[in-house]
Structure 1
Amino acid sequence: MGRTSKFVLNSASTALLQVVTMVAGFITPRFLLMAYGSDVNGLISSINQFITYFNLVEAGLSSAAVYSLYKPIAENDHGKINRIVTAARNFYIKSGFIFVGLVFVLAIVYPWITHTEVLDHQTIFLLVLVLGVNGALEFFTLAKYRALLTADQKTYVISFASIVYTILNTVIVVVMSMLRVNILTLRVVALLSIFARSMILFVYIKLNYKFIRYDADPDYAAMDKRWSALYLQIVQTVQNASPAVLITLFSTLKMVSVYSVYNMVMSGINGIMSVFSTGVSAGFGELLVKDDRRAFTKAYRDFEYLYYVMASVVYGVTLATILPFVHVYTHGVTDVEYTNLYFALLFVLNGVFYNLKTPQGMLVIAAGLYKETRIQSTIQAAILLVGGVILGFKFGLIGVMAASCLSNLYRCIDLLFFIPKTVTHLSLGPTFKNMIEMLFMVAAIAIVSHFIFSTWPGSLLTWLLYGACNLVLGLAIVLGFHAVFEHKSFHIIIDRLNSLLGR
């Protein structure tokens, strides 16, 4: 299979996985909410966020393994591949045991730091252990396969295995929720889906990489680069997992459940946006290494403009439809109020700021500027943590999300100046204009939608129609604006579409 074919298949499978994950992410919490209530849904969400922190024991391993496998795979050096894979497996096993130890500690401590009368301490202890098995299997089975397949440009295999896992897990959760099975039993049975994913990858590796042996002399030197990406991964984990943890500490499990519903929507939207940017950094990295400034400048300006146009539509429609969706999604759940305008505004604004910096953040990865951005990344995490503690203590969920917005806004401003100075050497004017236009378009779509579609949908089916109408409206507003006021840049969209249709 050629490089282009692999790229198309990898991109398509990643997009399909994002869609399946987003749909599953909408379905499973709904059934958990209806069957077990907001306390249990918030409890599971909170535990999973804590466990996310523990994945830091793997920090940098995957990147180092993938990077070190590029050359031997290209040269078909089976001996070198086996030495690197063996080293990676040994590191993952050690990290896995540390991960299991941390999960066990959490299982002991967590029942005493949370407040709920729905489940007793013993059940919560066992629930933490069961939820931790998912992460443990990542270390002991999936991880070594993922590094090899990623380096060999076969991430589509991982995507398809993950799609099977996601669908199977969703079916198990839905069926057992409808039967009102004990939540602990449900999570134990759901582990079957994780084993299914591991088995698919195990069989694929056995059939397609028959030369792989795990008894070769490990090449530990190949793993040295893991530390270059460690700090950035720590900061990213803090950024992603902190809100749910802070809400757990300063509010109630019901509010964690509220957070999880809005975060579910925004995670799905971020997943959609990631399809447009996944894999792009490698292409820009190649242009930077070749020092082809002319091609780099044109490619980056085109990508940045197109990305902000797409983000304008996506987040404008999200802002217009998120409250009606939450209203329909949580219909019948009465133990806490989910539909809140301030929550919707803060979550969407946080998503906008998070993606506003994506084109610049992509260049940080493409240029390998991990060490050069440590201070800025630390400040971003500090704003979230310190602001989250201060504002979360006083205002709860609203305070934590306000702190998250401020941290992402800081990073947007920082990268707006940092990237032109260190990487692109271009004027920041066009980028700043693109950002302002995106913010304006998001607000315009939401405001126009409010006046045109004044009645909220009453069911999921009518919401789908409502969402489709808003999508058409969003596209009309954004494309109309750019056709009139950005006539020259707008031809980029037309040329890209013509190119795709031609292919």
Structure 2
Amino acid sequence: MSRLYKAQNNIKFGYLNTLISLILKFSLRTVFIYSIGVTYLGVNGLFTNVLSVLSLADLGISTALNYSLYKPVAENDIDKIKALMKVFKKAYIGIACVITIMGIMLLPFLHIIIKDPVGISYTELQIYYSIFLFNTVSTYFIAYKYSLVNADQKNYIQTNFHTATIIVTSIFQVIVLLIYKSFLLYLLSATLVELFQKFLVNAYINKKYPYLTSSSGRKLSKEELAPIKINIKALIYHKIGTVAVHQTDNILISSFINITTVGIVSNYTLVITSITSFINIIFNSIISSLGNLVATENIDKQYEVFKIYRFVGFWLYGMFTISFALLLGPFISLWLGPEMIISSSVVYMILIDYYLKGHRIVVNNFKTAAGVFNQDKYIALTQAVVNLVLSIILVRYIGLIGIFIGTVVQGLIATVSRPFILYRDVFKKPGLLYYKDSLLYLIVLALPYIVLAFIQNALFKDISIINFILFGMIDVIVINTFFILLLRKRDEFIYLKKIIKMKFLRRTYE
């Protein structure tokens, strides 16, 4: 089965999952806000981030072990796969134990990071937090088996289980919210469904890969463990940096502003992440295929694929950056009411980081597939320090926007430095090639935004469902027209155009 076929399969199921998730998430969020309020929404978002910080105990072990599976899976080396999976299992059980201990130690200090939990006692908060902790820890006892599934380029298996779980969980949670209006029952219903899913997943993967249940098999040699240990040491820095950068905003908002603001901001991030999940299906579904590509193809082929991968990334993230900038405010107002609107300056900071993140995802995914971890390990730590220091200083003087300015500045560090490392160490080419494309893409992005902003201010100032739909249609047409006109002569566009034509012709004749 080819890399392309497996990637297409992963993308197909990924889209189905995302569409279902999108509908259910927005339905559930609407019922949640009108049933028990935005403060509980803030608690939900905060504890999710706190447990993500505790997952720092992973220290990059999962990424290093995942990378080590690509080659033996490609070569069908069952003995080595079994040996690696035994290491995986021990590592993940150890991680679960560490997170449990750290999580319990944090319980007495929840009042420090939660400001103004209106109507919620700290005893209740500790109960809610304990449920979140259990859900996180229990995941580690099965998650390591997904590593084999994904290395085998069958990400759709995880996707399908995830879809089924979301459907059942959402149905139970909506019923609980409508009848009992209880946050505790809301959490417990999800816990029970997810626990059942974990048992089901374990049985399914054991059946699909029966050698996982075998106790026999060799251990990894010192020579085989050596590169894994090197990668883990490097990824410790990456993990610390990633957690400090991406999982601390809600904690800072809760500590320095209030827990309700966490809930209001989370409505914006829900819209952005839900829509963006359609894009990320493409990127995440082919990571394992990229790992296979790096393991089996030459540098020129890798570079060719990267350029196309990046081009698609710019097109999608660029289009949605412009669309969010112009349509996100009106959507929130129509959906939840004008009282849920936050400052446009804060939204623009979030979207600048979003656009830069789109470029970083492409670079990071390819870098991960190529096993480049050690060369940029200190960049992640630098990002973490800059983000926390700058955010804490600025939030005291300029409020909420200060936190997101810190996020944007730290993101620029990686956006500028990591492509240079990728080009130098993987493609053996000058990094200047990447930055020249970045400048071109920025110019291409600015032109349709200026035109659309003028059209919106002139014709669509009033917020209504009809205006939202009409301007949304104009937005998509104008952006893609500009992109096609300005980028039609690039090799990447010509290549993708040929692929689309071939697929269209094939389906026509079929």
- TM-score, normalised via structure 2 length: 0.87
- Look up the match of 1:257: 263
Residues in 1 aligned to 2:263 and 2:218: alpha-carbon distance in whole angstroms:
45
- Look up the match of 1:344: 347
- Kept in 1, the 8 Å contact 2:145–2:205? The answer is yes
Aligned ranges for residues 304-383 of structure 1 at < 5 Å? 304-331=310-337, 337-383=340-386
- Kept in 1, the 8 Å contact 2:42–2:259? The answer is yes
Residues in 2 aligned to 1:483 and 1:112: alpha-carbon distance in whole angstroms:
52
- Look up the match of 1:432: 439
Cα shift readout 1:317-345 (whole Å, capped 9, x = no counterpart)? 2222101111123239x6xx434323322
- Look up the match of 2:99: 99
- Look up the match of 2:186: 186
Is structure 2 residue 228 aligned with structure 1 residue 227? no
CA-CA distance at 1:108 after TM superposition: 2.3
CA-CA distance at 1:121 after TM superposition: 1.6
Mean Cα displacement is larger for which, 212-221 or 90-99? 212-221
- Look up the match of 2:177: 177
Residues in 2 aligned to 1:60 and 1:214: alpha-carbon distance in whole angstroms:
27
- Look up the match of 1:11: 11
1:232 maps to amino acid:
H
2:139 maps to amino acid:
E
Mean Cα displacement is larger for which, 108-117 or 29-38? 108-117
Where 2:461 maps in the other structure, the secondary structure is: coil
Mean Cα displacement is larger for which, 193-202 or 33-42? 193-202
Is the alpha carbon distance of 1:295 and 1:472 closer, same or farther for their aligned partners in structure 2, counting shifts above 3 Å? farther
- Look up the match of 2:253: 247
- Look up the match of 1:454: 461
Cα shift readout 1:184-228 (whole Å, capped 9, x = no counterpart)? 122112212212321331231243223322644673665634334
CA-CA distance at 1:282 after TM superposition: 5.5
Is the alpha carbon distance of 1:367 and 1:440 closer, same or farther for their aligned partners in structure 2, counting shifts above 3 Å? farther
CA-CA distance at 1:72 after TM superposition: 4.6
Aligned ranges for residues 71-90 of structure 1 at < 5 Å? 71-74=71-74, 76-90=76-90
Is the alpha carbon distance of 1:294 and 1:268 closer, same or farther for their aligned partners in structure 2, counting shifts above 3 Å? same
Where 1:488 maps in the other structure, the secondary structure is: coil
CA-CA distance at 1:260 after TM superposition: 1.2
Residues in 1 aligned to 2:257 and 2:218: alpha-carbon distance in whole angstroms:
48
Where 2:375 maps in the other structure, the secondary structure is: helix
- Kept in 2, the 8 Å contact 1:40–1:118? The answer is no
- Look up the match of 1:159: 159
- Kept in 2, the 8 Å contact 1:70–1:151? The answer is yes
2:502 maps to amino acid:
S
Is the alpha carbon distance of 1:474 and 1:423 closer, same or farther for their aligned partners in structure 2, counting shifts above 3 Å? farther
CA-CA distance at 1:127 after TM superposition: 0.6
Is structure 2 residue 213 aligned with structure 1 residue 213? yes
Where 1:24 maps in the other structure, the secondary structure is: helix
Residues in 2 aligned to 1:483 and 1:256: alpha-carbon distance in whole angstroms:
39
- Kept in 2, the 8 Å contact 1:46–1:256? The answer is yes
CA-CA distance at 1:268 after TM superposition: 2.0
CA-CA distance at 1:236 after TM superposition: 1.6
- Kept in 1, the 8 Å contact 2:22–2:274? The answer is yes
- TM-score, normalised via structure 1 length: 0.88
- Kept in 1, the 8 Å contact 2:240–2:380? The answer is no
In structure 2, list runs of 5 or more residues that go unmatched: none
Work out the percentage of aligned pairs sharing the same amino acid: 17
Residues in 1 aligned to 2:131 and 2:208: alpha-carbon distance in whole angstroms:
32
Mean Cα displacement is larger for which, 251-260 or 437-446? 437-446
- Look up the match of 1:54: 54
CA-CA distance at 1:50 after TM superposition: 0.5
2:119 maps to amino acid:
V
- Look up the match of 2:136: 135
Residues in 2 aligned to 1:360 and 1:211: alpha-carbon distance in whole angstroms:
35
CA-CA distance at 1:112 after TM superposition: 4.4
CA-CA distance at 1:311 after TM superposition: 2.2
Is the alpha carbon distance of 1:324 and 1:312 closer, same or farther for their aligned partners in structure 2, counting shifts above 3 Å? same
Is the alpha carbon distance of 1:83 and 1:494 closer, same or farther for their aligned partners in structure 2, counting shifts above 3 Å? closer
Is the alpha carbon distance of 1:229 and 1:23 closer, same or farther for their aligned partners in structure 2, counting shifts above 3 Å? farther
CA-CA distance at 1:16 after TM superposition: 2.8
Is the alpha carbon distance of 1:21 and 1:443 closer, same or farther for their aligned partners in structure 2, counting shifts above 3 Å? farther
Cα shift readout 1:327-374 (whole Å, capped 9, x = no counterpart)? 123239x6xx43432332222222112213333334432443322112
1:134 maps to amino acid:
N
Residues in 1 aligned to 2:170 and 2:264: alpha-carbon distance in whole angstroms:
20
CA-CA distance at 1:122 after TM superposition: 1.2
Is the alpha carbon distance of 1:4 and 1:479 closer, same or farther for their aligned partners in structure 2, counting shifts above 3 Å? closer
Is the alpha carbon distance of 1:291 and 1:144 closer, same or farther for their aligned partners in structure 2, counting shifts above 3 Å? closer
Is the alpha carbon distance of 1:220 and 1:25 closer, same or farther for their aligned partners in structure 2, counting shifts above 3 Å? farther
CA-CA distance at 1:265 after TM superposition: 1.8
Where 2:205 maps in the other structure, the secondary structure is: helix
Is the alpha carbon distance of 1:19 and 1:235 closer, same or farther for their aligned partners in structure 2, counting shifts above 3 Å? farther
